[in-house]
Amino acid sequence: MITKEKALNNVKQHLKDKNRNFKKINEDISKILLEKEEIIYPHSKYYEQERDVYTITYYCEGYYEDQTLFVIVDAETGEVLYTMTEHGYAEDWEE
């Protein structure tokens, strides 16, 4: 299993690689959540499998307030699985 610090670094690199604009990343290690045996949703090659995942939050500027987005990272491999927004999966718009 990777560390929370490694998961955070993977997310930072992922956001940079995808050229996503954001205001800030929640870098407080204590706020990075580890969820055991989470069922993975459609935007991953692990669809409907149980995986241990980290959830890391980042924020984009919104109209009235900042928009919160969640990046889901495989806790075993460090692979970014998908990004949840208030309107669905960010990966839908990038491809």
Quick: pLDDT tens for 34-66: 999 877 766 677 887 888 999 999 999 888 888
Give the chain's domain count.
1
- Distances from the Cα of 89 to the Cα of 42, 92, 94, angstroms: 9, 6, 10
The pLDDT score that the predictor gives to residue 76 is 93
Q: Which residues pair with 47 in a beta bridge?
A: none
Domain that holds residue 55: 4-94
User: Model confidence at 29, in pLDDT bands (50, 70, 90)?
Assistant: very high
The pLDDT score that the predictor gives to residue 43 is 66
CATH of the domain at 28: 3.10.450
- Report the percent of the chain where pLDDT is more than 70: 96
59-68 LR contacts (CB < 8 Å, sep 24+): 59/22, 59/23, 59/24, 59/25, 59/26, 60/20, 60/21, 60/22, 60/23, 61/23, 66/23
